[in-house]
Amino acid sequence: MTGMCEGRVAIVTGAGRGIGREYALMLAEQGAKVIVNDLGGSRDGTGADVSPAQQVVDEIEAMGGEAAVNGADVSDFAAAKEMIDQAIDTFGGLDVVVNNAGILRDRMLTNMTEDEWDLVIKVHLKGTFAPARHAAAYWRERAKAGETNDARLINTTSVSGIYGNPGQTNYGAAKQGIAGFTFIAALELQRYGVTVNAIAPGALTRLTEDLGPGDRSEEEKAAMSPRWVAPLCTWLASPQSAGVTGRVFEASGRVLAVAEGWHRGPTAAAVDDPTEVDAVLRELLSSTRAPAGMNGQDLPGWEGR
């Protein structure tokens, strides 16, 4: 049977372990040729080891697929271009970029260091921008030359970013930024035959397995396997998702959902007297929906705030 991504060339960053590994394996199962990128650092971003990426390549080749290793730091602008060039030189083109690489350096705002802020923003936000920038330039040049693209840019956001989670101002800010980046890039790149979407995955991985309750049941662990996220990524990477762009999706073993972005809420006429602001805004807030919690539902107790 021909796979839904047959013949497509994909790059998956952070693909040596966890969610990225599942993405790479499923894309290969469905016929894609995959550049398996992973710096191989620890979850806080230190160190480097190409062996996890090589193991994924070995698994893909063992199933009869095609794959190659890339050990670039995706936040390195020049190295990100070399990664894009590697896909084109190795497999003859590029159809899909999945920006998945990430790290954690969680800390409450009052204690967060400058380095903890800078590195998380760099890896997540610049590490999404750099590969996307070079891939977009490649697809634009193809379009200008009269070639047809059916390309995909798939980014990784998080419920910590789109809904918010204490202790993760750095990570959440980066992930909220990626959601905004996704929507704007979708507007810019649609003329070149490129769709841009983001996934907010829910899974237990090396980054998240020790967060939250430590006494999860086997059923809970199974529901949070990263394998549940891969079908969405594979569909987004395939021709079947043509025309779907500028969206943020949630995926886990518990839910598959579309996250709805910012919309203007209740409104009033402009106010030029500061003594009138309180009454006007209190009235608006009384009919404003509460912010969402990590489960995507209204936070209790926020009515009117």
**Per-domain residue ranges of the chain:** 9-259, 265-305
Active site (annotated) includes residue 171: yes
Q: What is the pLDDT along the chain (305 residues), one digit of tens a residue?
A: 589 999 999 999 999 999 999 999 999 999 999 999 999 865 555 667 899 999 999 999 999 999 999 999 999 999 999 999 999 999 999 999 999 999 999 999 999 999 999 999 999 999 999 999 999 999 999 999 999 999 999 999 999 889 999 999 999 999 999 999 999 999 999 999 999 999 999 976 545 444 455 565 676 666 778 999 999 999 999 999 999 999 999 999 999 999 998 999 999 999 999 999 999 999 999 999 988 888 888 888 776 66
- Of the residues 23, 33, 75, 158, only one is catalytic, namely 158
**This prediction's pTM:** 0.91
d(CA 220, CA 216): 6
Dihedral sign for Cα 248, 251, 257, 259, please.
Answer: negative
d(CA 259, CA 268): 27
In angstroms, the Cα distances linking 177 to 13, 125, 160 are: 18, 7, 12
d(CA 53, CA 201): 21
The CATH number of 9-259, from 3.30.70.260, 3.40.50.2020, 3.30.420.40, 3.40.50.720, is: 3.40.50.720
**Residues near 289 by beta carbon (within 8 Å), at least 6 away in sequence:** 265, 298
- Of the residues 33, 122, 126, 175, only one is catalytic, namely 175
Q: Which pLDDT belongs to residue 211?
A: 47
Q: Which pLDDT belongs to residue 169?
A: 95
Backbone phi and psi for residue 32, each to the nearest 5 degrees, phi listed first: -80, 150
H or E element: which one contains 28? helix 18-29
CB atoms within 10 A of CB 156: 27
Please give the DSSP secondary-structure letter assigned to residue 145. Answer: T
Longest dimension (CA), the chain: 71
Active site (annotated) includes residue 192: no
Q: Which pLDDT belongs to residue 84?
A: 98
- Of the residues 23, 171, 238, 252, only one is catalytic, namely 171
Strand 33-37 vs strand 9-12: parallel, antiparallel, or unpaired? parallel
